Amino acid sequence: MEKILIFDTTLRDGEQSPGFSMNIQEKLQVARQLEKLNVDIIEAGFPVASEGDFEAVRKIAKSIKKCQVAALARAEDKDIDRAWEAVKEAHNPVIHTFISTSDFHLKYQLRLSREKVLDKAIKAVTRARSYTPNVEFSAMDATRTNRDYLCQIVEAAINSGATTINIPDTVGYAIPQEFGGLIQYLRENVSNIDKAILSVHCHNDLGLAVANSLAAVLNGARQVECAINGIGERAGNASLEEVVMAIRTRKDFLQLTTQVITEQIFSASRLISRITGINVQPNKAIVGANAFAHESGIHQDGLLKEKITYEIMTPESIGVPQSTLVLGKHSGRHAFREHMKKLGFELTEQEIKSVFKRFKDLADKKKEVFDEDLHAIMADEILQVPEKYKLLNMNVASGTVAIPTATLELEVNGKRFKDAGFGDGPVDASFKTIAKMIGTKSKLLKYSVNSITGGTDAQGEVTVRLEENDIIVNGQGAHTDIIMASAKAYINALNRLAHLSHSKQIKK
C-alpha cells in the first residue's frame, strides 16, 4: 500500500488559534508526544512571529530525532532566514514557505499583481533551498485561486527547488468532489508535478476538512496536514485522529497506509486538552468520551454478542484504556509504575514518589480509580511550573443563610500565611481570599468544571484562565472536593503567571 505522510501542525496552526497558546515547556511536551505518535513532520511554529516562538521551534528542533521538524516562513527573506536559524539543528529540517495566490488575497491583502507574487514565490523557494533540500511551498487560498495561475506558480516553485507542494483550503471553502478534482487537475496540468510530493491543508469552516483531505488523497495527494483534536484557526484543521483512523479503518477501500502509531492517539488528545484547557466534545469522532460508549439497548445487545456489530474499530487501537477499575488502594509501587508505562508515562523516581502518593490518597477516597484519574494526577503533579505559592490548608463555610467564607493557609516563597475572606459563593470566597493574600491583580477570564469519571465520588477537574500584564495562562486542578480543585487550579494559574513574569523580566 502507498504511504500517506502525516504533517502535524498542532504546534503552529493549532497553537495560533484563540485560546490555544502554549509556552515553550508545553510545546516541547506536545512535540515529544507527536514523536511517540510517529508523525512524519512536526510543524513546530512560526519563528519570525515572536522570540518565544523562535525559541520553542529551536528547542524542538534540537530535541526531536525521529520526525522531520518544519518552520513556517512567509515569502520574505527575513522570515526564511529566521526559520532556518530555528530549525538548522534538527535531524531533518524543513522550511515551509507560503504566499497567497487567490485574486481575493492579491487584491485586498497583498495588493500585488500575479506576476509580482510569482516572482516572490520563486525567490522564496530559491532562498529556502539554499539552506536545506527539504522545502515546502504553499499557495495560500489555493481553492479560490485561478487554476491556470495555480498551475503556473506550482510549476515555478518546483523548478526553484520545492520538494513538497501544499494546496491549502485556507478558508474551508471547498466541497470534497471539487477539491479532489483540483488535485487531479494539478496532476494533469503541471508538467513537473512528479518531482514533488503533493500535500493538502484543509480547514473545517464547513465541517468538511477531513472529507476534503480524503478526497485529495484519492486523487493523488500523498501528504495530509492536520492537527490533534482538529484544533486550528476558526473552526480548526483536519483532525489528525480522524484522517489517520479513516485510512486505517478503510484501507480496504483507500488502499493506503500511514506510519502513525495509533495507540498513542488518545494520549496525544488528552495532552492537548490538558495543556490548552479546551476539552474535546463528548461526541467528537475517535477521541470523544462517547466515541466508544453505547446506551441503546439494541446496540448493547449486538455489542455483547459481537463487537464488530457496532464498533468499526477497537478502543485499544487508539489507546483508550479498557479497564474500569485500574488500580486500588492495595496496589504496590511496582504495579503502579508498570501501569503508568502502559499509559505512556516514563517517570523518574522522584516523579513516581509524588504521583504514587497522590494516587494512594485518591484510592482511599474513591471506590474505583480510573485511567482518566491517573491522567489528571499527572497533569496536576508533573506538568507543573515551580511552586511559588502552595496551598497548605483550606476550610470553607457556605449555605443558604450563611455568608460564604474561606479560611486558607498558604506558603509563599517558603513562608506561611493565614487569612480569611468572603465571597458570593465558596469558590468566589476562596479566589478572593487567595488573591488578597498574594496581592495579585490578575483577571479571571475562564472558569470551567468537568467530571473526570462518573459517580458521586468522581474527581472534579477545574480549569482556570487568568490574565495579568498581557500574559494569559491556564491553570488546572483535580480533586474529589470541587472547591479544593478550584483553589488548586487558581493557585496553579498564579504559579504559571509568576513563572512567566519572572522569565519575561530575565529576558529584559
Q: In this predicted model, what pLDDT tens digit does every residue of 253-277 receive, in sequence order?
A: 999 999 999 999 999 999 999 898 8
Please give the order of strands across the beta sheet that includes 405-412. 389-397, 405-412, 415-422
Looking at residue 452, its pLDDT comes to 67
Please give the full DSSP string across 302-315, using - where no structure is assigned.
HHHH-GGGT-SS-G
Looking at residue 324, its pLDDT comes to 34
Q: In this predicted model, what pLDDT tens digit does every residue of 103-137 receive, in sequence order?
A: 999 999 999 999 999 999 999 999 999 999 999 99
Looking at residue 329, its pLDDT comes to 64
Q: What count of residues does the chain have?
A: 508
Range with the poorest average pLDDT among 64-73, 185-194, 297-306, 399-408: 297-306
In the chain, what percentage of residues exceed pLDDT 70?
A: 89
pLDDT exceeds cutoff 70 at 378: yes
Q: Which helix (H) or strand (E) holds 45?
A: strand 41-45
Interior angle at CA 467, CA 463 and CA 470, nearest 5? 145
Q: In this predicted model, what pLDDT tens digit does every residue of 312-325 receive, in sequence order?
A: 888 889 988 653 33
pLDDT exceeds cutoff 50 at 397: yes
Q: In this predicted model, what pLDDT tens digit does every residue of 348-377 receive, in sequence order?
A: 888 888 888 888 888 787 666 776 677 777
402 near 383, Cβ under 8 Å?
Answer: no
Q: Which helix (H) or strand (E) holds 215?
A: helix 209-218
126-131: long-range pairs with CB below 8 Å, 24+: 126/160, 126/161, 127/77, 127/80, 127/81, 128/73, 128/80, 128/83, 128/84, 128/95, 128/97, 128/161, 129/160, 129/161, 129/162, 131/80, 131/84, 131/88, 131/93, 131/95
Looking at residue 312, its pLDDT comes to 84
Task: Kindly give, in sequence order, each residue whose CB lies less than 8 Å from that of residue 63, ignoring residues fewer than 6 positions away.
Answer: 28, 31, 32
Q: How far apart are CA 445 and CA 461, in angstroms?
A: 17
In the chain, what percentage of residues exceed pLDDT 90?
A: 67
The residue-averaged pLDDT of 373-395 equals 79
Paired strand residues for 471: 468
Reported as a pLDDT band with limits 50, 70 and 90, residue 326 is very low
39 near 8, Cβ under 8 Å?
Answer: yes
Highest mean pLDDT among 71-75, 440-444, 488-492: 71-75
Q: How far apart are CA 192 and CA 202, in angstroms?
A: 24
DSSP 16: T
Average pLDDT over the chain reads 89
Q: Residue 491: phi, psi to the nearest 5?
A: -70, -35
